[in-house]
Each structure stands twice: as structure tokens, then as C-alpha cells.
A and B are shown apart, each in its own frame.
Chain A
Amino acid sequence: MGLLARLDRVACKLALDGEDPTALGLLRIVLVTVLTTSLLTHVGAVADYFSRDAVLFGPWAREAFPSRLSLFFWVDAPWAVRAIYGLGVVAHLLWLVGRFTKVAAVISWAVWVSMFGRHPLLYSLADQLQMVLCTLLMLMPAGNGLSLDARKHGAKPVPVWCRRVIQLQMAVVYTSTGLLKTGDTWHEQGTALYFSLANPYNRHFEIGPLLATLQPYVLRPMTWVVLVWEIGFSAFVGVHWLRSLLGRPRRMPDLRWLFLGFGLSMHLGIQAMLYVAFFSPLCIATYVAFLRPDEVRRIGAWLRRRGRRNEQRRAASEETDPA
């Protein structure tokens, strides 16, 4: 086989080959659930934020935020902004269940772009990840599986790059944030977690003295472990791809449980301790991209079996105790 043919084979295995759409379908469901919930948190304030009822409106809004596009720079009547938002909610629900998925995805994305573009200062870094994931998911044929479209027209394979692009995005998020953490609280002192958890801007609990007691034994080692995990995430994704290219040989261990298990506990911890908008649910949702279609199918089959068993048990108990 020539070099070009080999490269072509690698490119196909990495990106262009088709796979069962179930895993991407599940990814769509969990990500769009988070997006929809986040969208619904705007209820009641949409016109105040994005219409001419906002304190920055008309040409001054465009002057304040010149580098972004937004439909709401041109359509700014409060009723029209609310109507577009309402359309966005409907589009999200359709995207979630996978009906008219492509159109629903584009409309949902356009509504988010318009909201972010009209007033980017209402959004944090957590929301930035949401916008990025929304854009990437919109570009994917995510309605090909686990959707009403698939039920109607039949499931179609999806290219493997879809899940890999989400994996790559998370590798970029974690590794770049890890590399940018160059300060002494992350390195010499190991106090970064303490300061993050003690910040009154977004802490859930006021437990400074307890955190200070835990600092030398728990928070300092955890600060360094988090840093190593973040920087190492790209290596993990690289090894994960290599393992998949080589046909998952036994000598290459599956590191997903280690890396994603740590990530899951870390994000649950962050969610419990801090207000970080939808950052933790989003990150955890992206971990679905690391599940293979056959694994998602197995999980689905297990859940169905469990559901059937519960139903049988309920029916049996009703028979024995009709009252």
C-alpha cells in the first residue's frame, strides 16, 4: 500500500468512516437538554436583555459590541424579540427529540448567536463553552440516530469525526486552561482550589475555616492533581484515538474510566461547591462523546431490561395484593 493510500486510510479511520448513529444521538440528547435548560433560564428577562427595552439599545448596542452578529441588532421590538426567543425554545425541543433536526439545530444556533452577539457581557466563560458546543453540534448530522427523524426515515450512519471533534474540543479546553495556570497558587503554594472555593462571588457555602483546615492535606494535593489532569487530558485523548486506530489492543489500557471518572467527580464537586452556570453539566454531557455506539446500545438494552423487570415486579405485586 502506498503512503497516500495509508494516509487516506488513517484519515478515514480518524474522521470520515461511518459509525452507528446511536452514540451521537445520545450526545445530542444530553447536550441539547443542557442548552434548553440554559435557554429557559432567560425566561422573563429576554426583552430586558435583547430588545429596545434594554438599557443599551439601537445604534449604541451595535457600537458597544461591534465585533459580533446578532439578529437582535436589527429586530429590536420587545414582542418580536420574545417571539424569536419562543421560536428558539420550540426549535430546541425539536432538536432534542430529533424532529426536523437540521432546521431545528440551525434555528437554535441562530437564536444563541443572536443572544450572545447582542449582549456578550451577559455571558461568562462557562457560557462560551456552551456556544462553542452548540455550534459544533449544529454542524453534525446528530438527528441520524435516537431521534424521531430516524424512527420515520430509518437510522443512517454518521461520520466518526463528530464525536472526535467534541473530544478534541474538550482536550483543548482542559489542556489550554491547564497550561495557562502559571501562577504561584497553582504551582508553589497549591492554594488555587482554596481561593476558588472561598470566593464570595460564586461560592455555595461559607466554610472558609474548614477549607483552611483541609488545605494542607486535601486541597493542596488536589490543586496539583487537577493541574496534572487538565494538562494531561490532551495526551489521554491522543492515546484514546491511537488505541481506537490500532483496534483497541489489550496492551493499551482503556484510560477513559480513569480520566473521565476523575473529571466527573471534579465537575460534580465544582457543581456542589460553586455557582458556575452550566459549566459542569456541559462538561459532563460531553463525556458521552467518549462512549462507543456499541456501549450506548448496551446501556440502552440494560435500561430496557431493567424497566421491563420493574414492570413485571409491579404487575406481580399488584396481582398478589389487588387492594
Chain B
Amino acid sequence: MTRGIGRLLHALFVLTVVTFILVPNIPSKHFAPSSTLAKVALQVSFKQGWQMYSPNPQRSQTYMNLTAIYADGSERRLEESAQENVAWNTHWMWNKTRVDIWRQYANFSPKKRNNNRIWYLKGVCVREARRGNVPHRIVMHQVRRRFTKPHKVAQGASALGKPKRTFVTVQYCKHPIVLDMIEADQASEVRG
């Protein structure tokens, strides 16, 4: 009897694991509980959903370009903007950082609201404040280059299109939330 219950519990455990693997992959419009299950699993960062190179791989690459504008009207290009000039060739593990991945998420959907971008830019205000000079605002542009179709490259065209620069957003470093962040950051530095 006890062995039977043990086997049943074992089977239920396996079934639960399999459910957490399979169900979140079903689109919620076909099976509503899938999104609930996905949310539960996400709490421990167990995330299904494997949209890799789909529906198409990237056919252009975008880098962010950030300019800090100070209260006196002076401007400074921030470190992110360097990629616009140097990041169009090759990348290996040792010249990538995890912050590059964050920047990539922050670049998504330039014409729509993107929380990842909002928090990235607030973080840039904090970073610049730590360096001693709080910008008045951060202006974000994107520089995008399309990848040329292979048959044109085979005929001698450049593999990358011309850079196209577009305005994305402005983050004010005097925004109350950002000011709170900077104040708390400075207080924690004083506390050591």
C-alpha cells in the first residue's frame, strides 16, 4: 500500500515536471492556463519559449548612441556611443559583456514603450552621477545598419548598409524617481 502511494506520488512528480516543460510552450490563445503556469515558473527563472532566430534572424543591427546634456548646456557622448564606431566587425567571448545583452534588450521596439530601455537609461543617470556630474538629461539615438542580401554581396555590394541614425527618447535625470535613486546611492556610499 505504502509502496503504491509512493509510486503514485513519484508519477505525479514526473507529470508535474513534464507539464512545466510542455504547457508554457502552448500559445495561451489555444490553452489559457499556459500563461498562468509560465508566470509561476518564471518566479524561479524557469522560462520556456524558444523563439531563436525566429520568425527570421536579424536582418539589421542596432547600437544605442547616448549623449549626456548638462545643466550648463554642454554635451558629452557616453561610453555606449563607442559601439557605433567600433562594433561592426567581429565579437568573441572576451570582448562581450553581459551589459551588451542588456543594451540589446533596451534597443528593442524603438517606437514603442520599452521598460527595459527606461530602466537602462535611469541606470545611466545613476552611473554618471557616481562619476561626479549628474546630467540634466540623456538623449538616446539609435544607429542601425541593414544587412545586404547575399546575392547583392556576391555581386560586390558591401555586406552592411549605410548607418541610419534615428532619435529614440530622452531620459531626464532630474525625474523624481532618478533623483531618489541618486540620493539613496550617495547615502549608501556615505554609509560605506
B74 within 8 A of A: no
Complex Cα–Cα for A119 and B102 (A): 9
Question: Number of contacts between A and B (CB, 8 Å)?
Answer: 194
Which residues of A in the span 96-129 have a Cβ within 8 Å of any Cβ on B? 112-113, 116-117, 119-125, 128
Quick one: given A58-B184, A132-B46, A198-B159, are A275 and B14 in contact (CB under 8 Å)? no
Residue on A nearest B130 in the bound complex, by CB? A55
B177 within 8 A of A: yes
A144 within 8 A of B: no
* Contact assessment for B57 and A192 in the assembled complex, using a CB-CB cutoff below 8 Å: yes
CB neighbours (8 Å) of A113 from chain B are 44-45
* Contact assessment for A169 and B98 in the assembled complex, using a CB-CB cutoff below 8 Å: no
* Total residues of chain B contacting the partner, CB 8 A: 69
Our pick among A55, A184, A185, A191 for the contact of B124 (Cβ within 8 Å) is A55
* Contact assessment for A212 and B185 in the assembled complex, using a CB-CB cutoff below 8 Å: no
* Contact assessment for A16 and B45 in the assembled complex, using a CB-CB cutoff below 8 Å: no
* Contact assessment for A200 and B93 in the assembled complex, using a CB-CB cutoff below 8 Å: no
Which residues of B in the span 67-105 have a Cβ within 8 Å of any Cβ on A? 87-93, 96-99, 101-102, 104-105
Which residues of B in the span 96-144 have a Cβ within 8 Å of any Cβ on A? 96-99, 101-102, 104-106, 115-116, 119-120, 122-124, 126-127
Complex Cα–Cα for A50 and B163 (A): 35
Which residues of A in the span 38-67 have a Cβ within 8 Å of any Cβ on B? 41-42, 45, 49, 52, 54-58, 60, 64, 67
Residue on A nearest B180 in the bound complex, by CB? A60
* Contact assessment for A213 and B159 in the assembled complex, using a CB-CB cutoff below 8 Å: no
B151 within 8 A of A: yes
Our pick among A56, A112, A177 for the contact of B122 (Cβ within 8 Å) is A56
* Contact assessment for B91 and A203 in the assembled complex, using a CB-CB cutoff below 8 Å: yes
CB neighbours (8 Å) of B124 from chain A are 55
A173 within 8 A of B: yes
B2 within 8 A of A: no
Residues of A within 8 A of B (CB): 11, 15-16, 41-42, 45, 49, 52, 54-58, 60, 64, 67-69, 112-113, 116-117, 119-125, 128, 131-132, 135-136, 139, 159, 161, 165, 168-169, 172-173, 176-177, 180-186, 191-192, 194-196, 198-206, 208-209, 211-213, 215, 219, 275, 277
CB<8 Å pairs between A and B, sample of 24: A16-B10, A41-B93, A45-B98, A60-B181, A117-B45, A121-B102, A121-B120, A122-B99, A123-B101, A125-B50, A128-B47, A132-B48, A177-B53, A177-B54, A181-B56, A182-B54, A186-B55, A195-B56, A199-B58, A201-B91, A201-B104, A206-B159, A215-B154, A275-B92
